[in-house]
Amino acid sequence: MDIRTDPTTPDDNPEMADAAPEPKEPPLIRREDYRPFPWLVPEIALDFDLGLEWTRVKARLTVARNARGDRADTIRLHGDGLEPLSVAIDGTPTDGWTMDEGDLILPLSGDAHEIAIETGVNPSANSQLMGLYASNGMLCTQCEAEGFRRIAFFPDRPDVLSTYRVRMEGPRAQFPVLLSNGNKVAEGEASDGRHWAEWHDPWPKPSYLFALVAGDLVARSDEFTTMSGRKVALNVWVREEDLPRTEHAMESLKRAMKWDEETFGREYDLDQFNIVAVGDFNMGAMENKGLNIFNTKYVLADPETATDGDYDAIEGIIGHEYFHNWSGNRVTCRDWFQLSLKEGFTVLRDQLFSQDLQGEAVKRIEDVRVLRSVQFPEDSGPLAHPIRPDSFREISNFYTATVYNKGAEVIRMMRTMAGPEAFRAGTDLYFDRHDGEAATCEDFIKAMEDGAGLDLGLFRRWYSQAGTPKVSAELEHRGETATLTLRQYVPPTPGQPAKQPMPIPLRLALFDRETGAHRGEELVVLEDEETTIAFAGFSTPPVLSINRGFSAPVSIERQVPRDDLVFLAAHDDDAFARAEAMQELVVGHLVAAAGEGLDAKGRGQGQDAIAQALAAVLDDDRLDDTMRGELMVLPGETYLAEQMLVADPGRIHREREGLKRWLAGELGDRLRALHARASAVPYSLDRGARGARKVKTLALSYLAAGDPDAASELAAQQYDAADNMTDRQGALMVLCGLDSAARTDRLIDFYRRYEGNALAIDKWFSLQAMSLHPAAIEHVKALREHADFTLRNPNRVRALYMAFAGNPHAFHAPSGEGYRLIADLILDLDPINAQTAARFVAPLGRWRRIEPKRAALMRAELERIAAAPGLSRDTREQVGRSLG
């Protein structure tokens, strides 16, 4: 499952949402308490009589005692909001059952039984978007993590693997397409205009991978021939009006299937592969076996409505969900503590896939930027947790950047230490050993040790310890020897005050100042708290390039002369390290300016060094524009705040914008020339044209800081001339931060141009919510009342409010009004879609790292949320942890 999006749902009026009593505190579930389920369920047959307002579900479970589990004379079948309409054991109706906290308890005395249970659900009333729900006249499901229990009574846990037979029947006019997991084995007509279809999935799977879709859909169809010569039917199912925007999704799927065969040796194992695009979805996409369900955002694209970033995201997420067929489906996780087993590994796989197609350097920089902006703050805040947690109360709160992105980085470190060939041997062994099983993170580590020849004894600490390690690097030069001293420290996190050192693989090189070259890259693994390494043969002090390629997810702390950073920004042959030097140069200046402050001399020297480095980037003809764009990006305000013990968001914003303004003044001619050159490149999806569009808008954003009036005119010209969404959105982004007539005119034009196109209108909401305009808060309030805003649609809520929460200058308004807006949203949204509401808590939870006045306001909003009656388990847990 991909978590890049995070929706909301049905009702504009929260009082009309599902009424819920005050929830009980959920039990604390501990990893150490795991026990195999007492019963196996080798087969389940499901029969659906489909309707939007009422769907009847008949489930027939074949159960047998589990020799690995404790003996039990009852079976607990999980349920959430279900009532059994009938229950039979071995063909005999029974009322000898009890209910416990929503679960159905049945007495079972023998060693094998058949259980038949009939239930009913109302998909249209399901505002949580978990289980079976209605979306714009269509029925669909989302079962990860614990949604299947909202459909049928079942041992809803990932280590209970079953083969599924599914029969669906419903009105053909309303549901002409009937889809489920596996292969379609039969279909036919029923009476009164109804029809049916039967599906069989031959591969045992946990209930969280069950999927069903019924609706009025059309497909872009194709086929793929596997490496063994089997033909697989491919379909991307959408509403008819969206069919022209599915070509990129289909091509991405075929590329992913071919790449997985070539890179990991994994072949697809069913006769067909279906993707369905859904407008209401709690996540980015879901890897249900053979029937992937996607948020429309990650399927639909054409140049008029999708940016270059949208194209990349679609390709990456299509790949992510397809790769789960092996890393998550064929080998699944034993329990939810092992979530990173499938998600961290699959994120790494989708990152490697994208970098092979898009270019390794730029993709790596983008991935690290996401890690630092989302996961690093998580690791340093009250919600910090290991990638394999020891306990949880609500599993939906652990679908986090730590599990996904940091989990990927930990497996990437194994690949760095082993090398690509040995890493492939380790993954081959893992798949061979555990195919058809529910495995653990330890199983993966052991396969890597045995297959790749690694000693990962100490490395296991990465799975059990939270927090981002800090590594200090000190380079000294005496005579002919350069000596590097490395020290590591893992900060305390909630529940883990003291940490042990962890193995940290660091790629490094030492550059000669005169030649601009180095003698070769080395891989150093820092295992202790401190180590010293001597390098002979340096008559002059070398320049250190460290953590090249971001070989470890750590924070490097070092005192580097400004001239050395300028040197690396101009000469480092590792693209990531070059970008890192540029970032380090800017971060050091802005943190000093926003912290203790800089005198005029220090400020001038810092600005001059940054201008010198940026000028070199703008003038370097050897750079392609995709990489030039990465080097032009200033570090984000959230990341800057993370570099400070206590941050003042207002000062950070002023200093960052002030630096942009100064750079625009110093380099204005170069920036205007770059914009003009890039504007002359015709639209295409090749790398050069994409890079040109990237630097065009970056140059415009600098110019807007230096001369708003001139930039407004230039942005309006870019908007009017645009023949693609990337240029149009980039221009409108700049205009949204300016107070000009051009801003108003183009916002009106954008809305009229795309009215009725949900994904484009989402962009319209987001651009205003994340803008630098001084009235951004008032704009968000007005947009909440807009006719096109609704709490019914997940993407729309996120488009407005997640964009606003990620806008530091507005969210951190000194009055605290930004905090109130998010707290009010959480309270409105929680009764409707608790999973989404809980995800808005994290920005408020960072109050400990913010200056005292704002921190008190943030904490007060958390306390107001905590005092609300009827708060969901999801939100209550996040607020409680945030308050400490």
CB 749 within 8 A of CB 731: no
Mean pLDDT of the chain: 96
Pick the CATH number of 14-323 from 2.40.30.40, 1.10.3720.10, 3.20.20.70, 2.60.40.1730: 2.60.40.1730
Q: Taking each helix axis from N to C terminus, what angle separates 817-829 and 852-866, rounded to the nearest 10 degrees?
A: 20
pLDDT at 264: 98
What's the topology of domain 470-556?
Immunoglobulin-like (2.60.40)
pLDDT above 60: residue 20: no
Q: Helix (H) and strand (E) counts for the chain?
A: 30, 31
Residue appearing with tokens 């639909």:
300
pLDDT above 50: residue 762: yes
- Cα separation, 392 vs 603, in Å, equals 47
- Cα separation, 403 vs 342, in Å, equals 10
Which tokens hold the place of 872? 């969901």
Chain-centroid distance of CA 340 in Å reads 13
Q: Which of 90, 46, 77 is nearest to 149 (CA)?
A: 77
Share of the chain above pLDDT 90, in %: 96
Dump pLDDT digits (tens) for 638-667: 999 999 999 999 999 999 999 999 999 999
Torsion of CA 546, 550, 551, 552, to 10 degrees: 100
CB 509 within 8 A of CB 574: yes
Q: Where are the beta strands (DSSP E) in 400-447?
A: 438-439
CA dist 549 → 362, 368, 576 (Å): 11, 10, 5
Dump pLDDT digits (tens) for 423-446: 999 999 999 999 999 999 999 999
Average pLDDT over residues 741-754: 98
Dump pLDDT digits (tens) for 465-496: 999 999 999 999 999 999 999 999 999 999 99
pLDDT above 70: residue 331: yes
pLDDT at 17: 36
Which tokens hold the place of 149? 């229990």
3-class SS of residue 304:
coil
What is the C-alpha radius of gyration for the chain, rounded to an integer number of angstroms? 28
CB 44 within 8 A of CB 61: yes
Q: Give the DSSP per-residue string, 542-584.
A: -EEEESTT--SS-EEE----HHHHHHHHHH-SSHHHHHHHHHH
Q: Model's pTM, two decimal places?
A: 0.96
Average pLDDT over residues 785-807: 95
Catalytic residues: 321
- The residue ranges of every structural domain in the chain are 14-323, 470-556, 558-663
Share of the chain above pLDDT 70, in %: 98
Dump pLDDT digits (tens) for 241-282: 999 999 999 999 999 999 999 999 999 999 999 999 999 999
Average pLDDT over residues 196-211: 98
> Is there a common fold for 14-323 and 470-556?
yes
DSSP 531: E
